[in-house]
Amino acid sequence: MGKAKQHGFSKDRLQRIDRFLADKYVGPGRMPCAQFLLARGGEVVHQSVLGQQDPERGTALAEDSVYRLYSMTKPVACVALMTLVEEGLIALDDPVAKHIPEWAGLAVFSAGVGPYLTTPPARPMQVVDLLRHTSGLTYGFQNRTNVDAAYRKLKLADHHGDEDLEGMIRQLARLPLEFSPGEAWNYSVSTDVVGYLVQKLCGKPLDQALQARIFDPLKMVDTGFHVREDQRSRFAACYNALPGGKMKLQDDPTTSPYLAPPKLLSGGGGLVGTAADYLRFASMLTNGGELDGARILAPKTVKLMASNHLPGGQDLTALSRSLFSESTNAGVGFGLGVAVVFDAPQTLIPCSNGEFYWGGAASTAFWCDPLEDVTAVFMTQLLPSSSYPIRRELRTLVYAALMESRG
């Protein structure tokens, strides 16, 4: 793209990204596909579209292929809640029980497998705890405790299960918390609860609330909670990573449960969409809450979201009790729905203080760097996201191509 030099990037160095993705991941069959979009100053400066959307049928990846976003849904749900904060309908320091009365008696796990021995929390759960994953809730897939075992048994937050959001809230009311709110960071169904609050406060289903507040204003025409009939030919296959750099089909796009609307509209992981759509969402955040005349949030609200909210100003390595405590999160805190870099040298990769990001279970990722006015979106469909260090590698390649830094 001719805009690379205009926006301070080396075109030759950006081309390393395509070679790297092709030679290390797509060519050897470690990933089915790879799409990468890089923007600066609101303009796309590089795009990679490699591999196959559906390897089983030999369908090539396209610029408008549709992907499972999994946890890249979370920032969308959190932005929707922050629009309600801006309207005064909810506050970050509200007790969650103010909006979910049946949660007033939530207690902290002490022992047992049900009935449980519990103790009262040191303080009530607040709305901010849901946004920053300090609520005491968990995920069944953690496979760590008796509480997450109960989540698995109930199939809690199963996008394609039998419960809707109201049913999930009722189930959670009967289970203990992992810890007292604010005591630790634990990746959890918290953002599904955020989605429930958005739905309740808007007085309409979560899909309609997101459509009105985010997707329509940002012209995100391909994002939703299921694959529409007109999108089916563009829906990518999803794979599991196997030992030795191999893959196995995990979800066939022609028979996927995503082809039908789900009963549970998951703010934690239920969306599907395109790279171009997600770039519009991420670019809005990089740009301080506005894109192409559509104002979603105020600049101060975005800055609040992209600040470290972990108690004591700690990073994830110090406070995490879950899967995200690995050393790669040194210097990284957590804001309101996104991870936040606050000590760039500690990360050991090129990045900026104030950069914020997140990713999805199928190895998708995005990051926003307001200091450099850089926004990036990466899409593939490979579970789990911990299979390869692709996210760190992409950051290194991008910043190695940035010749005119503002930092």
Whichever domain contains 370, its CATH number is: 3.40.710.10
My answer on whether 262 and 314 are in the same domain is yes
Euclidean distance between CA atoms 362 and 359, whole angstroms = 8
Euclidean distance between CA atoms 381 and 189, whole angstroms = 22
Output the CA–CA distances (angstroms, integers) from residue 388 to 96, 315, 391, in the order listed.
Answer: 37, 22, 8
Q: What is the full DSSP assignment across 83-120?
A: HHHHTTS--TTSBHHHH-GGGTT--EEEE-SSS-EEE-
Q: Is pLDDT at 246 greater than 80 in this prediction?
A: yes
Tens of pLDDT, residue by residue over 145-182, are 999 999 999 988 888 888 999 999 999 999 999 999 99
Tens of pLDDT, residue by residue over 47-59, are 999 999 999 999 9
Buried b (16+ CB within 10 A) or exposed e, 145-175: eebbbbbeebebbbbebebbbeebbebbeeb
Residue 249 token pair? 């089909």
Flag whether 88 is in a domain.
no
Q: Are 272 and 238 in contact (CB under 8 A)?
A: no
Overall average pLDDT of the 302-310 stretch:
98
* pLDDT over 90, % of the chain: 91
**């030919």: which residue's tokens?**
233
Flag whether 306 is in a domain.
yes
Look at the chain and report how many structural domains it folds into. Answer: 2
Give residue 31's domain range. 3-79+207-400
My answer on whether 370 and 275 are in the same domain is yes
**């005591």: which residue's tokens?**
183
Say which range, 216-230, 250-264, 322-336, 343-357, has the weakest mean pLDDT: 322-336
Residue 347 token pair? 């990360």
> Which amino acid is residue 195, in one-letter code?
G
Tens of pLDDT, residue by residue over 368-378, are 999 999 999 99
Beta pairing partners, 66: 235
Buried b (16+ CB within 10 A) or exposed e, 95-125: bbeebbeebeebbbbeeeeeebebeebeebb
My answer on whether 248 and 315 are in the same domain is yes
Instruction: Write the DSSP symbol of residue 236.
Output: P
Cα torsion 51, 55, 58, 61: sign: negative
Cis peptide bond upstream of 345, omega within 30: no
My answer on whether 40 and 149 are in the same domain is no
Rg (CA), the chain: 20
- Length of the chain in residues, anyone? 407
| pLDDT reported for residue 279 | 98
My answer on whether 301 and 170 are in the same domain is no
Three-state secondary structure call for residue 140? helix
Flag whether 232 is in a domain.
yes
- Which runs of consecutive H residues, i.e. helices, occur in 107-185? 127-132, 146-154, 165-173
Flag whether 154 is in a domain.
yes
**């999805």: which residue's tokens?**
360
Residue 122, domain CATH: 1.20.58.710
My answer on whether 70 and 197 are in the same domain is no
Domain's final residue, options 168, 203, 238:
203
My answer on whether 182 and 216 are in the same domain is no
Query: Residue 192: which of 302, 96, 101 has the closest Cα?
Result: 96
Beta pairing partners, 133: none
Query: Residue 99: which of 199, 206, 214, 212 has the closest Cα?
Result: 199
Buried b (16+ CB within 10 A) or exposed e, 277-298: bbbbbbbbbbbbbbbeeeebbe
Domain's final residue, options 188, 203, 218:
203
Q: Is pLDDT at 350 greater than 80 in this prediction?
A: yes
**């789990």: which residue's tokens?**
384
Tens of pLDDT, residue by residue over 64-74, are 999 999 999 99
Question: 10 Å Cβ neighbour count for 356?
Answer: 29
Flag whether 152 is in a domain.
yes
My answer on whether 211 and 198 are in the same domain is no
| pLDDT reported for residue 324 | 55
pTM beyond 0.95: the answer is yes
**Strand 43-54 and strand 33-40: pairing?**
antiparallel
Euclidean distance between CA atoms 265 and 267, whole angstroms = 6
395: pLDDT confidence band, cut at 50, 70 and 90?
A: very high
My answer on whether 244 and 353 are in the same domain is yes
Q: Is pLDDT at 276 greater than 80 in this prediction?
A: yes
Flag whether 86 is in a domain.
no
H/E element, 394: helix 390-400
Euclidean distance between CA atoms 233 and 59, whole angstroms = 9
Domain's final residue, options 203, 230, 254:
203
My answer on whether 72 and 102 are in the same domain is no
